[in-house]
Chain A
Amino acid sequence: MLQALADWLGPDGTTALLLSLKVSLWATMASLPPGILCALVLARGRFWGHGLLNGLVHLPLILPPVVTGYLLLVIMGRRGPVGAWLEQAFGIVFAFRWTGAALAAAVMAFPLLVRAIRLAIEAVDPRLEDAAATLGAPRAAVFATVTLPLILPGIIAGAVLAFAKSMGEFGATITFVSNIPGQTQTLPSAIYTALQVPGQGETVARLAALSIAVALVALGVAEWLSRAVARRIAGR
């Protein structure tokens, strides 16, 4: 069946799909720990700069993606302040690599991830955590045994959304890492390339259909999981 799908998509389409899956998986996994932390801070923290952090997290949702990609290029590019340091210190390069595509996707998906987790955290009654503390549980244990299990469906829902968003990310990715087949050409970039070439209408349609299918499945899974949050917190 996978072979049939590969034949149907053609070699370039298959490469793009596999790259998109790899990029999205990495983007999602790598942004989960900071996403959970960020959601916790936004849901529970009361500090100066709360609104600023909230705005910063949501910024990629509002900015034109090309601007986000440009900012990534300026900051994380090989000559950018952070990018240059990362290359020197750890040998990590983002510019024009698949890792850069993952970074761009992670940044663009971050607001969705944080939002879903934050909603789940806000649905947890903090008085349950107080109750755990009166029973002698240290703070980390309270988080691991009470908070985390109750928000787990929200985390998964956020991750599914982030994955779907990463699969569809185009503007920031193409700005930051360009559109190199086999390197940085993700599914949307491949569609864009095919659109530039006359007579590729069928390829475009197939890749587009695949994108729609991925998005629909992800939304369905996210919906089902967010219902599981409610069920779990109600204890049924």
Chain B
Amino acid sequence: MLSVALRHRFPGFALDAAFDAPAGITALFGRSGSGKTTIVNAVAGLLRPDHGRIVVDGRVLTDSAAGVMVPVRSRRIGYVFQDARLFPHMTVRRNLAYGTRFAPPGATGPSGGEVVEMLGIGRLLDRRPALLSGGEKARVAIGRALLSRPRLLILDEPLASLDAARRAEILPYVESLRDRTGIPVLYISHAISEVARLATTLVLIDAGRVTRAGALEDLLSDPASAALLDPDEVGAVLPGIIAAHEPDGLARIATAAGDLLVPGLAAPVGRALRLRIRAAEVIVSLAPPQDSSVLNVLPVTVARIEGEGATVLVQLRLHGGAALLARITQRSVDALRLAPGVRCHATVKSAGLVQGAG
């Protein structure tokens, strides 16, 4: 558990942020220049804040009131920098060994062999960093940080410099980091698709302040916090399990709100995953649609309607307590007489489902 409260003033920029990060991946999400890296630099001890208190697992690392400032090397916070920062004069093997070298003798964590296997970097061991691709560098940097046996791992946009294909290549490694090591992670990102796939907790940062913080699923299905995100990317996340692969190629995903059918999913039955349902691809109707091509229809109750202008965001409560978001026009709201409490049906096009293991 990490607890952060910071106030710091730069010329032309003021940071005033406080949040808690429980186990799992906590995503710090915000635009470039919103202060995310400043926050994690303070957590790592690379920045001494004007005022602040940072506590990891009950150990006070920074406390300006008490004059506590634990040096960077004693904090045991693994930091995967945006630019990897591998040591150029060392091979990958020696970079990894550097993490192990200063780890406290009693600390537990994955072994070198496990890390190499988990990150798929076995064949890179004898290369120099200059000869690695961006994705390979990111993986080696993650491995090096893991081997220092950190209490907390910071990943500062490790995928920012990568193209979409490379990102897709790294995401499973970050997922297995979350699922196999149990080390709490602070994950900085400005890509909501990454965050929706990886994070357990979401902290929204804007202009040096925390605008919202909470469980990822709650925040992404909340119209008020969704208003802070890119309108095209807004959408709820629904956890599910692959229940069956149908003979026609569709996978049946069991969720608390009912089964959904998704095409093109190869993962085995029993695999947990997250379905991201974009608000723009949810259709609301009073009666279940008939003679329609859609496969996924869920009974819902309107919980909230937020927004002004031609389109609004509607929060739709599902059975089991989770919620969806739908972006529809104000005209439709009026025509269907939608209001909190109204029972209706949410139709989700299969193509609107984006999955990630989780």
Q: Which residues of A contact B (CB under 8 A)?
A: 125, 127-128, 130-139, 141, 145-146, 149-150, 232-236
* Shortest beta-carbon distance from B90 to chain A in Å: 8
With the chains together, A130 CA to B81 CA distance in Å?
Answer: 10
**In the assembled complex, which residues on chain B have CB atoms less than 8 Å from the CB atom of A234?**
88, 130
**In the assembled complex, which residues on chain A have CB atoms less than 8 Å from the CB atom of B78?**
134-135
B73 located at the interface, meaning its Cβ lies under 8 Å from any Cβ of chain A in the complex: yes
**In the assembled complex, which residues on chain B have CB atoms less than 8 Å from the CB atom of A132?**
87, 98
B76 located at the interface, meaning its Cβ lies under 8 Å from any Cβ of chain A in the complex: yes
Q: Quick check: B76 and A136 within 8 Å, CB to CB? A: yes
Q: Quick check: B88 and A232 within 8 Å, CB to CB? A: yes
Binary contact readout B59-103 vs A (1 if CB under 8 angstroms, 0 otherwise): 000000000000111111111010101011100000000110111
Q: Quick check: B98 and A134 within 8 Å, CB to CB? A: no
Closest to A141 in B: B102
Closest to A137 in B: B102
* Shortest beta-carbon distance from A29 to chain B in Å: 24
B44 located at the interface, meaning its Cβ lies under 8 Å from any Cβ of chain A in the complex: yes
Closest to A234 in B: B130
Closest to A128 in B: B85
* Shortest beta-carbon distance from B135 to chain A in Å: 17
Closest to A131 in B: B85
Query: Is chain A's interface secondary structure helix, strand, loop, or mixed overall?
Result: helix
Closest to A135 in B: B148
Q: Interface extent on B, as a size class?
A: 20 to 34
* Residue in A133, A137, A141, A232 whose Cβ sees the most chain B Cβ within 10 Å: A133
Residues A136 and B103 in contact in the complex (CB < 8 Å), given A233-B88, A235-B130: yes
Q: Quick check: A131 and B81 within 8 Å, CB to CB? A: yes
* Shortest beta-carbon distance from B94 to chain A in Å: 10
Q: Quick check: A236 and B44 within 8 Å, CB to CB? A: no
Residues 31-64 of B at the A interface (beta carbon under 8 Å): 44, 46
Q: Quick check: B88 and A133 within 8 Å, CB to CB? A: no
**In the assembled complex, which residues on chain B have CB atoms less than 8 Å from the CB atom of A133?**
71-73
B158 located at the interface, meaning its Cβ lies under 8 Å from any Cβ of chain A in the complex: no
Q: List 30 A-B contacts (CB under 8 A).
A: A125-B85, A127-B83, A128-B87, A131-B87, A132-B87, A133-B71, A134-B46, A134-B73, A134-B75, A134-B77, A134-B78, A135-B73, A135-B78, A135-B98, A135-B144, A135-B145, A135-B148, A136-B73, A136-B104, A138-B73, A138-B102, A139-B73, A150-B88, A150-B89, A235-B88, A235-B89, A235-B128, A235-B129, A235-B130, A236-B130
- 7 pairs of A and B residues whose beta carbons are closest in the complex: A235-B88, A136-B102, A235-B130, A131-B85, A133-B72, A134-B79, A135-B148
With the chains together, A138 CA to B144 CA distance in Å?
Answer: 17
* Residue in A136, A139, A141, A233 whose Cβ sees the most chain B Cβ within 10 Å: A136
From B46, B102, B103, B145, give the contact of A130 (CB < 8 A). Answer: B46
